[in-house]
Structure 1
Amino acid sequence: MDDLITLEPVAHVVGGHEKPADDYQGGVESIIRLRPDFPLDTLQGLDEFSHLIVTWRFHLGSDADLHLGARSPRNNPEWEPTGTFVHRNHRRPNRMATSFPRLLKVEGRDLHVTDLDAVDGTPIYDLGPYFEQMGPRGPVTAPAWPAVMLEHYWDPAAERP
């Protein structure tokens, strides 16, 4: 197939969350460590931005756990089944995710961030600054269940029961 691509990570997550969790992702600092073969000036100017766009892979997931089709979010029968591409989890075909962590500082090849919902060792396939002007345009709409489901998503990890 002509559309196949090979990706190599540009960085890896160091520290932060030790294992995947559905909630209590907030307040955890980690490092996105750029590969040593990239020149330092690939990060030049990044420290002027407050947030990043980070594309990563649920590397601890398994192709055996892939779920194509509809299912209830978090298997909660109170929520109507929704399709694979409505869920943001490791059961997606390529297990890719996008996060928007706050950039705290840049030290050499280390990007110190907080609120990155990836775990230690996660491969990062792309990163860049978040431009507010390129965010969603117009009203953003969603059904009610994501707000209920994610009520505690960014609560401090230190408060995880």
Structure 2
Amino acid sequence: MLPIGWVQSTRKEPLDDDWDTVQASVTLDAARFSPDALAGLSEFSHVDVVYLFDRVDSASVQTRARHPRGNTAWPEVGIFAQRAKGRPNRIGVTTCRLLEVDGLTLRLEGLDAIDNTPVLDIKPYMVEFAPRGPLLQPAWSHELMAGYWSQ
């Protein structure tokens, strides 16, 4: 896979919390795309951004159960039961508010990727792809996310 673009972010280090304070955008690769690749996207309020955790050392990739964030108060759960960056294929995905489309650049709110992260894909968020029926989530995951988006 080739990146379609890169993240520009005020966050330079992959810290776990306070992502609401981060200003971010994604700019597509001008050698491969023209602004018409984004035609119609501004009619959507949100986009899913798929990106690569490119600075995660392959030696730190997790394939087994572990305590999220090393917190032994939380249960050991498999890598596929958490959203950690040390994933087998190091792929991240986040639903972001789309604030503006300007040429090849998307200005976003809620993108939890650091500066210069390669972007693999952008998809418009559609309600019809949202979960259907009730959602279920364990208590420890709510504790983990308590400071992720808010200050």
With the shorter chain as reference, the TM-score category is over 0.9
- Give the aligned partner of residue 44 of structure 1: 39
The total of aligned residue pairs comes to: 150
- Give the aligned partner of residue 92 of structure 2: 97
The amino acid across from 2:26 in the alignment is I
Does the residue aligned with 1:41 lie in a helix, a strand or coil? helix
**Equivalent-residue separation in structure 2 for 1:53 and 1:92 (angstroms):** 18
Unaligned runs of 5+ in 2: none
**Equivalent-residue separation in structure 1 for 2:28 and 2:83 (angstroms):** 25
Contact 1:16 1:31 survives alignment (8 Å):
no
For 1:46-78, what per-residue CA distance to the aligned partner results, in whole angstroms no more than 9, with x for missing partners?
A: 011111001011111010101211111111111
Note the aligned Cα RMSD (angstroms).
Answer: 1.0
**Equivalent-residue separation in structure 2 for 1:52 and 1:44 (angstroms):** 14
**Stretches (4+) displaced over 4 A:** none
Q: CA deviation at 1:103?
A: 0.7
**Equivalent-residue separation in structure 1 for 2:110 and 2:11 (angstroms):** 10
Superposition TM-score, scaled by structure 1 size: 0.89
| 1:4-43 equivalence runs, <5 A | 7-36=1-30, 37-43=32-38
> Which deviates more from structure 2 when the two are superposed, residues 110-119 or residues 27-36?
27-36
**Equivalent-residue separation in structure 2 for 1:122 and 1:65 (angstroms):** 18
Unaligned runs of 5+ in 1: 1-6, 157-161
For 1:6-32, what per-residue CA distance to the aligned partner results, in whole angstroms no more than 9, with x for missing partners?
A: x00011001231111111111322110
- Give the aligned partner of residue 68 of structure 1: 63
Contact 1:17 1:28 survives alignment (8 Å):
yes
**Aligned residues with identical type, % of pairs:** 37
The answer to whether residue 99 in structure 2 is matched with residue 118 in structure 1 is no
**Equivalent-residue separation in structure 2 for 1:59 and 1:122 (angstroms):** 7
Does the residue aligned with 1:145 lie in a helix, a strand or coil? helix
Does the residue aligned with 2:80 lie in a helix, a strand or coil? helix
Superposition TM-score, scaled by structure 2 size: 0.95
The amino acid across from 1:121 in the alignment is N
**Equivalent-residue separation in structure 1 for 2:9 and 2:66 (angstroms):** 32
**Equivalent-residue separation in structure 1 for 2:134 and 2:42 (angstroms):** 30
